[in-house]
Amino acid sequence: MSENRRPTAGKRVGKSRTSKVDGRSGARSKRHQDVENRIRDRKFSGENFSKVNAERKGKEGGEDSTAKKDGGFERRKPFKSKKKFESQASIEKRVEKDGIRLNKFIANAGICSRRDADKHIVAGSVTINGKVVDQMGYRVQPGEEVKFDGTTIQAEKKVYAVLNKPKNFITTKDDTHGRRTVMDLLGGIGKVRVYPVGRLDRNTTGVLMFTNDGEMTKRLTHPTYGVKKMYHVTLDKKLSQSHLEKILEGLNLEDGIINVDSISYVNNAPKTEVGVEISSGKNRIIRRIFESLGYEITKLDRVTFAGLNKKNIARGQWRFLTQEEVNFLKML
């Protein structure tokens, strides 16, 4: 090494570098060149550190059994907390004791989603034991009477079902004109209150889902989520190739541009029958698409909805969804 070259910051060779401490050149290095001074410094540092730890432990109360002493210094084992697992029975017991948040209670009753429930709460639409509760975060306790717009509601177990809807049934819970509704077809579902997810008009048949899960209903019907539906359409005359391509390109109706995801002729059937897959949830959208081109739909059947189908379900019959189907819908 050259005499004029400064030592690097890497591994040192030979004697310690000199340094300036309080303006005195070499004061630091000279002290540490003395072996006895270095030993004395280390011993003092260790004793002082142990003393501080002892005082701290005395204040906290007791010796730490996990500590090990090594040359006056104290080493500690890494602290590992035991993970506490809570059983389902314990969770249910805790929920029963602590109550359930009001917006979740309303959603469980099938009224609406939690977000919409918060709006109704602030608007003063909810009463508990006869008193208006307009503060979010309230927890409903067992035995309390909850009313929504004057009607008593209950937090019910989530139920999911699918119906193969026949013709001449109205998709509504009640009908003021005394017509038959889809609710008349749900015999045997129990006392739980469920509601249709979306609508099928009176003459449309096929897949119709029911649930009391307000949040899922909103996801499956809100246009933001783009839930797909497949329809089997039967027309009064053959659909021309040019009109099929025009539908695929997008039609400009009175409420804007309407696009379908796919459209094709049904295999081994006359060209009066086509399959249409669409994400739009606008009212009577399939009928309006073909009516705008001069066609009349003689039969309209919804084959699938959000991945659900009517396989092995006779017309007018229904079944509960499997857990796998429910899990799939929750991921949409």
Lowest-confidence segment of 64-68, 82-86, 183-187, 286-290 by average pLDDT: 64-68
pTM of the full structure: 0.59
Beta bridge partners of 97: none
Each residue's pLDDT tens digit, 33-48: 666 776 676 666 666 6
CATH superfamily of 88-152: RNA-binding S4 domain (3.10.290.10)
- Of 220 and 136, which is predicted with more confidence? 220
- Give the pLDDT of residue 327: 92
Domain with CATH 3.30.2350.10 in the chain: 160-331
Task: Give the pLDDT of residue 10.
Answer: 53
**Residue 54 CB burial class (10 angstroms; 0-12, 13-18, ≥19):** exposed
Q: Is 136 exposed, middle or buried (0-12, 13-18, 19+ CB in 10 A)?
A: middle
Q: Catalytic site residue 70?
A: no
Beta strands in 100-223 (DSSP E): 100-101, 126-128, 131-132, 139-140, 146-148, 151-152, 160-165, 195-196, 204-211
Q: Tell me what pLDDT residue 175 has.
A: 83
Q: Which residues contact 50 (CB under 8 A, 6 or more apart)?
A: 69, 72, 73, 74
Instruction: State the DSSP code for 269.
Output: S
Q: Which fold has domain 160-331?
A: Pseudouridine synthase (3.30.2350)
303, 199 Cβ separation under 8 angstroms: no
Parts of the chain belonging to CATH 3.10.290.10: 88-152
What confidence score (pLDDT) does residue 4 get?
52
Of 41, 98, 201, 236, which is the active-site residue?
201
The lowest-confidence range among 3-12, 124-133, 220-229, 321-330 is: 3-12
